[in-house]
Structure 1
Amino acid sequence: MALGPEEANRFAALLEERQEELVGAWTDRVAQSLRGRLSRTELERQTGELRKGFHAALAGGAAELGQEPADELRAQLTELSSSRARQGFSATETAVSVFALKDAVLTVLDGSDASNLRDYVAFSGFVDQAALFTFDSYVQIREGLIADQAEQLLELSTPVVKLWEGVVAVPLVGTLDSARAQVVMERLLETLVETGSPHAIIDITGVPAVDTQVAQHILKTVVAARLMGADCIISGIRPQIAQTIVALGIEFGDIATKASLADALRFVLKKTGR
């Protein structure tokens, strides 16, 4: 049942005339669902702002959430989703905060009037649209936050450090996939340009296993560094990794390899006559 102009105006008037009771009842229900994770003052502020948004949308004649009179309400719902996503609330908890408006309205609605109950069904549909919009917005925002965090962790997990004048190192820890290999290459090349270092050490001590794919990523990084005029040494070749490399038939060619980072640094210093 769609919300018509007359019903929208009636509920807009109800939201305005009984606003204190509505905000109180709405806040009570949201507080129960969030179990004290937000202060009542903050919840009253949020429900009060949303009440104004719903009132403006309905007073403007919005029968659907996607219509122009509901623009401000959609913006408020998006802001609520963003705030809750950053605070660690779930998508369900966020949507329930909007669904709770239906219970709050029911407490102040005259249930003895059949027309009121019929109109309430249409109003419930409008609130359902708002809650589902909030849920979808939350999911999109949360996915964006997770992607940003993953990118930040990726950058933190691939540091490029200066060991000596003219010598930088990339200590790799964990699995090296295509996305991470690209970050490693970019950060190494950027550091080579910034420092003007002619030598780079790629340390794979923290890489649990080396397969053909990992080896290809390392070789591509070495080739890219060489194109920048830097010589690369691979360190951290443990006995198990050495056996795997031989078994897979991986060839590092003329790339110098050392058992440890200390051996690699010693090799570079000796090579440069220091």
Structure 2
Amino acid sequence: MSNIQSVHLAKVMTTHQSPLLEQWLNGLLPRMTRRDKSSIALLRQQCTQFLSLATAVLEQGADINIKDAGWKETLDLLADISEGRARQGFSPIETAHFVFSLKEPIFQYLRAEFENDPQQLSQDIAHVSSLFDQLGLYTIEVFQKTREQVILRQQQELIELSTPVVQLWDNILALPLIGTLDSARTQVVMETLLEKIVETGAMIAIIDITGVPTVDTLVAQHLLKTIAAARLMGADCVVSGIRPQIAQTIVHLGVNLEDVITKATLADAFVVALKLTGSTIHQAPQER
């Protein structure tokens, strides 16, 4: 944006600051999902800050390129707003509308200011559009990055929640797996199991794959890595939940599980684990 056009825009935003703010808010409020006093007050504060920062930059004759250092504070504010909205469940369009909705009120004042100079008006409107389009797209970019981070964190939390290690008996742990095993989840499974082995000093770990829908070469390799890591920590593994179709798949794939104890059910695996640890369960005599 040339200096003269920056000055024109700064003049409009300064001269009509109060009515411009109210018109901008009137365009934003209908799109708000929450309209309580605190939300409206926060929105007013954000709008006021944006107008103040942007006007200060434009008064210095800033260029249209928002990558210039002069726009840093304005971009920081937009980044904070976009990140907050991403975490609160706003959509990208709602977030970008924060900037885009300011264009029309500014256009109205530019038309009134340069109604007798259509060429200058056309240039100012074109350059204002370009500036606010960049700012709006920036909010979308920050929003998308924040949402990706939120989704990634949620996925990691779900993985951790879906891999609980339960102590069934003295020296016996159980790790029930549900869902598909991939490299990332296998790493979490392995770390969780090893930490529990160290914490409890367990001798046997039962890995139950009843909830694993399919077993392919990759899943089998992940299981073998987990078993190998547990053995290095001094615990043997028993794999339970071997259904007929999974047994056929493992044989067909040629996966070597010869040195691994496998059982059809968790109950069967628990019986084996008791024998391996030298534990026994005695049924109390029934009272007559």
Q: TM-score, normalised by structure 1?
A: 0.91
Correspondence 1:171-190 to 2 at 5 A:
171-190=176-195
Sort the Cα spacing of 1:98 and 1:134 in 2 relative to 1 into closer, same or farther, 3 A. Answer: same
Percent of pairs with identical residues = 46
1:118 counterpart = 2:153: no
One-letter amino acid of the structure 1 residue matched with residue 76 of structure 2: A
Aligned to 2:26: 28
Distance 1:83 1:113 in 2: 43
Aligned to 1:37: 33
Given that 2:203 and 2:235 are in contact with CA atoms closer than 8 Å, whether structure 1 keeps it comes out as yes
Distance 1:38 1:48 in 2: 19
Given that 1:62 and 1:68 are in contact with CA atoms closer than 8 Å, whether structure 2 keeps it comes out as no
Given that 1:27 and 1:44 are in contact with CA atoms closer than 8 Å, whether structure 2 keeps it comes out as yes
Q: TM-score, normalised by structure 2?
A: 0.87
1:208 counterpart = 2:206: no
Correspondence 1:141-152 to 2 at 5 A:
141-152=146-157
- What are structure 1's unaligned runs of at least 5 residues? none
Aligned to 1:59: 59
Given that 2:186 and 2:222 are in contact with CA atoms closer than 8 Å, whether structure 1 keeps it comes out as yes
Q: 1:270 Cα shift?
A: 2.0
SS at match of 2:237: strand
Aligned to 1:81: 82
More displaced stretch, 48-57 vs 4-13: 4-13
Given that 1:201 and 1:233 are in contact with CA atoms closer than 8 Å, whether structure 2 keeps it comes out as yes
Aligned to 1:14: 12
One-letter amino acid of the structure 2 residue matched with residue 231 of structure 1: D
Given that 1:155 and 1:183 are in contact with CA atoms closer than 8 Å, whether structure 2 keeps it comes out as yes
Q: 1:80 Cα shift?
A: 1.4
More displaced stretch, 59-68 vs 222-231: 59-68
SS at match of 2:102: helix
SS at match of 2:239: strand
Distance 1:163 1:62 in 2: 68
More displaced stretch, 108-117 vs 259-268: 108-117
Given that 1:21 and 1:108 are in contact with CA atoms closer than 8 Å, whether structure 2 keeps it comes out as no
Distance 2:25 2:169 in 1: 61
Given that 2:204 and 2:277 are in contact with CA atoms closer than 8 Å, whether structure 1 keeps it comes out as no
Aligned to 2:222: 217
One-letter amino acid of the structure 1 residue matched with residue 23 of structure 2: A
Q: Deviations over 1:46-101 (max 9, x none)?
A: 22222122112212332121122211101011111101111212222211221111
Distance 2:102 2:229 in 1: 59
Sort the Cα spacing of 1:86 and 1:11 in 2 relative to 1 into closer, same or farther, 3 A. Answer: same
Q: 1:130 Cα shift?
A: 0.9
Distance 1:61 1:5 in 2: 4
- What are structure 2's unaligned runs of at least 5 residues? 280-288
Given that 2:205 and 2:235 are in contact with CA atoms closer than 8 Å, whether structure 1 keeps it comes out as yes
Aligned to 2:103: 102
Q: CA RMSD in A?
A: 1.8
Aligned to 1:241: 246
More displaced stretch, 71-80 vs 155-164: 155-164
SS at match of 2:67: coil
Q: Deviations over 1:82-141 (max 9, x none)?
A: 011112122222112211111121233315132344323222221121111112111222
Aligned to 1:256: 261
Sort the Cα spacing of 1:66 and 1:248 in 2 relative to 1 into closer, same or farther, 3 A. Answer: closer
Q: 1:9 Cα shift?
A: 2.6
Given that 2:203 and 2:277 are in contact with CA atoms closer than 8 Å, whether structure 1 keeps it comes out as no
